[in-house]
């Protein structure tokens, strides 16, 4: 045979070898139900991408295997010699629903294996193993893709506790809704008395008839209260909703119709809108325990997020904190911050181990003024007054921070904090 013919034959054999299917392990068994009847149903076998021992590339996929009269027969690529380590997830479906699932680790074999030879001896997924044998622990990192899936799921925040309605805080963490058991939870996560009046500017006026003369000439009508926000006003004329800034304008509680939309004699006007909550007792906006730190740099020990359109001019907010210093070798410092504004910052000596502080904050439409007090065990009373510029309706985060004067065995903890709101009339 010519040399070129030998070379061509070698290339052909090598190409065929490279294109050969991966070696498979036969799995054969007879499946029964606990009552002795043959299992009939579907096995869904799923796997993630891996490379078999013979370098065959097995991409992520799944297959459905029909089992009739208990006869299980299939061939699978070995996973015990795969790169990376791989497993099959097998789901048993019968009577129209998923019965249970388990994991298989398939070794290389030319002789048929039974299910018991490939089943991983761990508790059944989605149920109890029902056995008393040992349990193999699987680390999160051992399950491909599990950590990534966990990272995109919400985590519990500092104020999470069981048996409470859950809301999402400003960082997307899950926390328990605050308030008494008889109150209702609003869509912004706040709570208040159930009914027509809420806590956070959630009073309502429904199907109110605006005051004014219906004569085809009068353009000005008056509402019983000012809509907050103005966009919450739904104004109807003869059942047709009017368009703000096209059919009418609004300033406070005064509605002014444009000249070509003036209500006529016999027309029916109705208005529905939200208002600021009525004055009343204080309401808890945030409350809970904080964390501790051993750091010598500022550390957030707790926080409270006040959502937009919650506070209004004339409202008052009171902030209370209790701080605990453990140890006697380092000084400490704690702060209360309103957004980027430091309302209170108090340094304490090594012997001050129990401290407390409170801030009272009042608001106008464009600013606020606050006063502070702080004291403690071996810490004298101190007070201050300050001002802040901004609209109270904006979202704000209140941070409680603390740190130590030096690193060591000392720690500083936020024992508890409470943020109260006193609504204006």
The domain boundary residue, chosen from 131, 156, 179: 131
Q: Are residues 226 and 340 in the same domain?
A: no
CATH of the domain at 296: 2.60.120
C-beta separation of 332 from 347 below 8 A:
yes
Q: Are strands 367-376 and 191-192 parallel, antiparallel or unpaired?
A: unpaired
Instruction: Please give the pLDDT value at position 397.
Output: 93
**The pLDDT of residue 332 is above 60:** yes
Residue 275 or residue 417, greater confidence:
417
**The pLDDT of residue 1 is above 70:** no
**Among the ranges given (27-31, 116-120, 181-185, 241-245), the one the predictor scored with the smallest mean pLDDT:** 181-185
**The pLDDT of residue 202 is above 70:** no
Half-sphere exposure of 319 (CA within 13 A, CB side): 25
Q: Are residues 105 and 210 in the same domain?
A: no
Q: Are residues 292 and 393 in the same domain?
A: yes
C-beta separation of 369 from 388 below 8 A:
yes
Q: Is residue 167 included in any domain, yes or no?
A: no
Q: Are residues 92 and 116 in the same domain?
A: yes
C-beta separation of 369 from 355 below 8 A:
no
CA dist 271 and 205 (Å) reads 8
Q: Are residues 304 and 346 in the same domain?
A: yes
Spell 83-116 as b/e; 16+ CB within 10 A means b. Answer: eeebbbebbbbeeeeeeebbbbbbeeeeeebebe
Q: Are residues 268 and 356 in the same domain?
A: no
279 exposure class (CB count in 10 Å sphere: 0-12, 13-18, 19+): exposed
Residue 85 or residue 1, greater confidence:
85
Mean pLDDT over each residue of the chain, to the nearest integer: 84
DSSP, collapsed to helix, strand or coil, labels residue 260 as: helix
Question: Using one digit for the tens of pLDDT, what is the confidence trace for 28-63?
Answer: 999 999 899 999 999 999 998 899 988 889 999 999
Instruction: Please give the pLDDT value at position 132.
Output: 45
Domain enclosing residue 369, as ranges: 283-422
**The pLDDT of residue 196 is above 50:** no
Q: How confident is the model at residue 195 (pLDDT cuts 50, 70, 90)?
A: very low
Q: Is residue 193 included in any domain, yes or no?
A: no
Q: Are residues 47 and 122 in the same domain?
A: yes
Q: How confident is the model at residue 124 (pLDDT cuts 50, 70, 90)?
A: very low
Q: Is residue 47 included in any domain, yes or no?
A: yes
C-beta separation of 193 from 199 below 8 A:
yes
The domain boundary residue, chosen from 222, 254, 275: 275
Mean per-residue pLDDT for 233-255? Answer: 92
Q: Are residues 299 and 355 in the same domain?
A: yes
Residue 25 or residue 197, greater confidence:
25
Q: Is residue 196 included in any domain, yes or no?
A: no
**Among the ranges given (171-185, 297-311, 390-404), the one the predictor scored with the smallest mean pLDDT:** 171-185
CA dist 394 and 298 (Å) reads 25
Q: How confident is the model at residue 414 (pLDDT cuts 50, 70, 90)?
A: very high
The domain boundary residue, chosen from 131, 153, 172: 131
Mean per-residue pLDDT for 206-214? Answer: 91
| Portion of the chain with pLDDT greater than 70, in percent | 83
DSSP 108: P
Q: Are residues 299 and 250 in the same domain?
A: no
Q: How confident is the model at residue 5 (pLDDT cuts 50, 70, 90)?
A: low
Range from 169-173, 174-178, 378-382 that averages highest in pLDDT: 378-382
CATH of the domain at 75: 2.60.40
List CB contacts of 357: < 8 A, sequence separation 6 or more.
320, 321, 323, 334, 336, 344, 346, 372, 373, 374, 375
Instruction: Please give the pLDDT value at position 199.
Output: 40
Q: Are residues 64 and 123 in the same domain?
A: yes
Q: Is residue 242 included in any domain, yes or no?
A: yes
> What is the number of domains present in the chain?
3
> By C-alpha distance, which of 185, 400, 424, 186 is closest to 305?
400
């Amino acid at each position: 045979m010519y040399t070129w013919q030998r070379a061509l034959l070698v290339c052909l054999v090598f190409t065929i070898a490279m294109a050969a299917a991966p070696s498979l392990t036969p799995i054969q068994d007879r499946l029964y139900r606990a009552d002795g009847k043959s299992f009939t149903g579907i096995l869904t076998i799923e796997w993630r991408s891996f490379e078999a021992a013979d370098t065959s590339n097995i991409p992520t996929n799944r297959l459905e295997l029909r089992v009739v009269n208990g006869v299980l027969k299939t061939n699978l690529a070995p996973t015990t010699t795969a790169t990376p380590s791989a497993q099959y997830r097998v789901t048993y479906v019968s009577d129209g629903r998923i019965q249970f699932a388990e994991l298989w680790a398939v070794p290389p074999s030319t002789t048929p294996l039974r299910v018991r030879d490939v089943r991983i001896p761990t508790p059944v997924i989605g149920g109890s193993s029902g056995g008393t044998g040992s349990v193999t622990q699987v680390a999160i990192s051992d399950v491909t893709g599990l950590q990534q899936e966990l990272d995109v799921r919400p985590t519990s925040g500092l104020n999470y506790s069981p048996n409470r309605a859950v809301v999402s805080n400003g960082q997307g963490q899950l926390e328990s809704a605050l308030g008494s058991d008889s109150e209702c939870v609003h869509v912004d996560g706040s709570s208040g008395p159930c009914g027509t009046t809420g806590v956070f500017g959630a009073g309502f006026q429904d199907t109110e008839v605006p005051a004014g003369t219906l004569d085809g000439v009068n353009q000005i009508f008056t509402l019983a209260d000012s809509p907050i926000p103005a966009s919450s006003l739904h104004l109807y004329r003869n059942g047709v909703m009017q368009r703000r800034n096209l059919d009418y304008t609004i300033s406070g509680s005064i509605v002014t119709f444009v000249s070509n939309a003036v209500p006529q004699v016999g027309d029916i006007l109705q208005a529905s809108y939200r208002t600021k909550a009525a004055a009343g007792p204080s309401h808890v906006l945030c409350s809970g325990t904080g964390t501790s730190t051993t750091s010598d740099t500022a550390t957030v020990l707790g926080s409270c997020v006040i959502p937009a359109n919650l506070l209004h001019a004339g409202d008052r907010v009171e902030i209370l904190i209790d701080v605990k210093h453990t140890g006697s070798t380092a000084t400490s410092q704690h702060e209360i911050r309103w957004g980027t504004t430091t309302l209170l910052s108090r340094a304490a000596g090594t012997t001050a181990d129990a401290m407390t502080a409170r801030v009272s904050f009042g608001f106008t439409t464009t600013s606020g003024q606050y006063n502070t007090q702080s004291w403690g065990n071996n810490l004298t009373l101190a007070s201050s007054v300050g001002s802040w510029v901004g609209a109270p309706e904006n979202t704000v985060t209140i941070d409680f921070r603390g740190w130590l004067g030096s690193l060591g065995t000392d720690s500083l903890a936020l024992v508890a904090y409470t943020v109260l709101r006193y609504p204006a009339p």
